[in-house]
Structure 1
Amino acid sequence: MKKLIPILFLLFSLNSFSQIYFSFPDSSAVWRIRTDVDDGWTSSIVGYTDYFLNGDTTINSILYTKMYKSFHGGAYNIDTANAFYFGALRESNKRVLFFPDTNMQGPYLGNFCYNWIYPNTPNYSEELLLYDFNAGVGDTVQYFHLDSSYIIINSIDSVLIQGQYRKRYNYSGLYNSGVACGIYSSFNYVEGIGNIYEGPFNLWTYYFENSDFLRCFEDENVLYTNVGDCSLFGVGIEEQFNENNLKMYPNPVSSNLTIELIDFNKSFKAQIYLTDITGKEVYATSINQSINTIDVSSFKSGLYLLKIVSDNGEVKSSLVSIQ
C-alpha cells in the first residue's frame, strides 16, 4: 500500500499540471520582430517591427484589446510616435481572434497572404482566427480567409519558459494549390505567446526572400527572448527577483499601483523606475519597506516599463498598463 502512495501523488500532480492554461494577453504585451532578407547570396537585416497591446475597443458590441504596429530601424525603443492602430484581439474558448483595422491599406497590411491573393483589398468586416488552443492532436484548424487553407495539429508537447511549462502545438500546413500563397510551413505555437520563432502573424504572412524572426515577447507575467540583446526599452534584464517574492497589482491600473515584497528584510534596499514606451523615465524612487504604492493617476494612459533594481544588482522588470 505504501508503494501506491507516491504513484498516486505523481498521477495527481501530472493531472494538475495538465490543467494549467496560459491565456493570451488581454491588456499589455509586446512582440518584437526582426525582418531579414536572404537572396541566396547575401543576408541582411531589413528592419524591425513591434506589435504591442494597449487599451480596449468595442466592435459589434464585443470587447477587444487594441493592437498597434510600429516600423523602425533601431533594435531598442518602441517608436510610438509612428505607431498605428493595426487591429484588435480577443480570446474566446481558447481561440485567439483578430479583427483587422478596416482602414488598413497597402504596406500597412504587411505581407498578409490574403492581400497577395486578391487584387483588391478585402473588406475587413469580420474577425479572423489567429490561433486555436482548443484544438487536439489530429484536429484540423481551418483559415477561411486564406482561401480555406488549413493546418493539422500533429502533436502537443510543452516548452519551459521562465520556470513554467506551456503547451506547444506542433502543426503541418496544407493549402489550396489554386492560390498564390497559403499555409505551407510546419511550425508550432505556444500558449499565451503564439509562434515563438516568427511572431504572432506567421500563419498569415508570405515573403519572397524575406523572413520574420521573433526577438522577444513580454507581458505582465513573462519575458521570452530568442536573442541576448533584445530589450524592450533599451535596458537589460540581468537577473530577476524570485517571482514568488514579488507581487504587483492591479495591472492594468488607473490610480494606485501596489508593489509588495513578500520576504522583506530591513537590510533590503532598492530603486523603482517607471519608463514610458519611448524610453523616457517618468518616475523614480527608493524603497525600503515591504509594501510600496505609486500613484499613477496623473500619468498618461499607455504602456510602461516598471523596473526594480536592488542594491546588490538584482533586477525585476515588468510591463504595466496605465488606463
Structure 2
Amino acid sequence: MKNRILYILLLTLSTNILSQEYYAFPDSLTIWSVNTDKYTVNGDTIINDQAYKKYYYSSGDSVFSYKNAAYFAAVREDNQKRIWRIERDAFEEKLLYDFSKSIGDTIVVHPMSANYFGRDSYHVTIVRVDSIIVHNSYRKRYTIGNVKGQTFVPKYWIEGIGSTRGLIDSGISQQLRGNIGYPELLCFTTEQYTYHVSSNKDCFRPITLPRRAENFIIKKELDELLSLIE
C-alpha cells in the first residue's frame, strides 16, 4: 500500500513538472546581479540574418548604471529552448544553455567565463530536474554536474534565468576565479519583482573565498615559498 501511494505521488510530481509552463529568457528590463557585476538586456541587433537581444555589463555599482555599462554579447533563444550567444566583435554563435534536455543528457556549452580559464567549452550533464517557485510560479530547475554526474560545486540552471553561478557561467565552475572564489547569482530583477537566488537576500556582494579553497591557496603559496628557499 505504501509503495502504491509513493508511486502515485512520484507520478503526480513528474506529470506536474512535465506539464508546467515554460519560461523563456527575458527580452527586456531585467537585471542579473552576480556579486559586484550587473548584466541587463536592452535592444535588438541582427547578426548573420538572425535576430538577437543585446546584453550589457557593468561592474562595481550596487545599482546598474548604463553610464558605466558596456555591450558584451548578443543572445537569442530558438524554438527548441536553446540559448545562443555571440560575443562582441565575433560572428560565430555558440551554445550557452539548452533547456530541452532531460536527466542523464550531456551537453557541450560555451560559457563566456570559459575564456578566463583558457577554454572554449565544458561538457555538462543534467543530474536532476525539479521545480522551484519564482514569484508565485513554478519553474524547472536543472542540477548540473560534470560528464560523470558529479557536482563539485552546487550549480543549477533555472528556466528563464540561467545559471546560479551567473548569467554567463553555464559551465561547471570547478576552479576558483582568480583565486578569489566562485561567482554567484545573487538576484534576478524584473519590473515586477526581485527574485533572491542567494539566501543572503543581498544583490551586491563581493565574491567570498570558501574556507577549503582558502586553505588550499595558503598551502600552495607556502609550497612555492619553500621551493624558493630550497
TM range (shorter): 0.5 to 0.7
Aligned residue among 199, 217, 224 for 2:166? 199
Between Structure 1 and Structure 2, which shows a larger proportion of strand residues?
Answer: 1
User: 2:34–2:186: 8 Å Cα contact kept in structure 1?
Assistant: yes
1:106 aligns with none
What one-letter code is carried by the residue in structure 2 that aligns with 1:168?
A: R
Q: CA deviation at 1:215?
A: 2.0
- Computing the radius of gyration over CA atoms, which structure comes out larger, 1 or 2? 1
Instruction: Between the two structures, name the one with larger relative contact order (CA 8 Å, sep ≥ 6).
Output: 2
Q: CA deviation at 1:188?
A: 1.3
1:217 aligns with 188
User: 1:174–1:184: 8 Å Cα contact kept in structure 2?
Assistant: no
Q: 1:91 to 1:220 in 2, by over 3 A?
A: farther
For the residues of structure 1 that align with 2:153 and 2:139, how far apart are their CA atoms? 22
What one-letter code is carried by the residue in structure 1 that aligns with 2:57?
A: K
Between Structure 1 and Structure 2, which shows a larger proportion of helix residues?
Answer: 2
Aligned residue among 62, 70, 85 for 2:71? 85
For the residues of structure 1 that align with 2:57 and 2:73, how far apart are their CA atoms? 9
Mapped pair 1:125 → 2:125: no
Q: How does 1:129-144 map to 2 (within 5 A)?
A: 129-143=95-109
Q: CA deviation at 1:155?
A: 1.2
Q: 1:187 to 1:71 in 2, by over 3 A?
A: same
What one-letter code is carried by the residue in structure 1 that aligns with 2:28?
A: S
What one-letter code is carried by the residue in structure 1 that aligns with 2:157?
A: Y
TM-score, reference length from structure 1: 0.49
1:150 aligns with 123
What one-letter code is carried by the residue in structure 1 that aligns with 2:93?
A: E
1:89-148 deviations in whole A, cap 9, x for unaligned?
Answer: 11011011111101xxxxxxxxxxxxxxxxxxxxx3311111110001111101368455
1:295-319 deviations in whole A, cap 9, x for unaligned?
Answer: xxxxxxxxxxxxxxxxxxxxxxxxx
User: 1:173–1:186: 8 Å Cα contact kept in structure 2?
Assistant: no
- Identity across the alignment (%): 36
Q: CA deviation at 1:213?
A: 2.0
User: 2:140–2:158: 8 Å Cα contact kept in structure 1?
Assistant: yes
Q: CA deviation at 1:164?
A: 1.2
1:168 aligns with 141
TM-score, reference length from structure 2: 0.67
For the residues of structure 1 that align with 2:45 and 2:77, how far apart are their CA atoms? 14
For the residues of structure 1 that align with 2:95 and 2:152, how far apart are their CA atoms? 17
Q: 1:62 to 1:200 in 2, by over 3 A?
A: same
Mapped pair 1:28 → 2:1: no
1:158-212 deviations in whole A, cap 9, x for unaligned?
Answer: 111222111011121249xxxxxxx97452110010123x211223576132221
Residues matched between the structures, number: 179
For the residues of structure 1 that align with 2:64 and 2:28, how far apart are their CA atoms? 17
Unaligned runs of 5+ residues in structure 2 are 1-7, 205-230
Q: How does 1:251-270 map to 2 (within 5 A)?
A: none
Q: 1:79 to 1:138 in 2, by over 3 A?
A: same
For the residues of structure 2 that align with 1:214 and 1:147, how far apart are their CA atoms? 22
1:18 aligns with 19
What one-letter code is carried by the residue in structure 1 that aligns with 2:194?
A: L
Q: How does 1:5-84 map to 2 (within 5 A)?
A: 14-15=15-16, 18-34=19-35, 48-72=36-60, 74-75=61-62, 77-84=63-70
Aligned residue among 146, 164, 178 for 1:208? 178
User: 1:150–1:174: 8 Å Cα contact kept in structure 2?
Assistant: yes
Mapped pair 1:99 → 2:86: yes
Q: 1:185 to 1:169 in 2, by over 3 A?
A: same
Q: CA deviation at 1:28?
A: 2.5
For the residues of structure 2 that align with 1:65 and 1:158, how far apart are their CA atoms? 27
Q: 1:220 to 1:61 in 2, by over 3 A?
A: farther
Q: 1:96 to 1:220 in 2, by over 3 A?
A: farther
1:264-301 deviations in whole A, cap 9, x for unaligned?
Answer: xxxxxxxxxxxxxxxxxxxxxxxxxxxxxxxxxxxxxx
What one-letter code is carried by the residue in structure 1 that aligns with 2:22?
A: Y
What one-letter code is carried by the residue in structure 2 that aligns with 1:208?
A: G
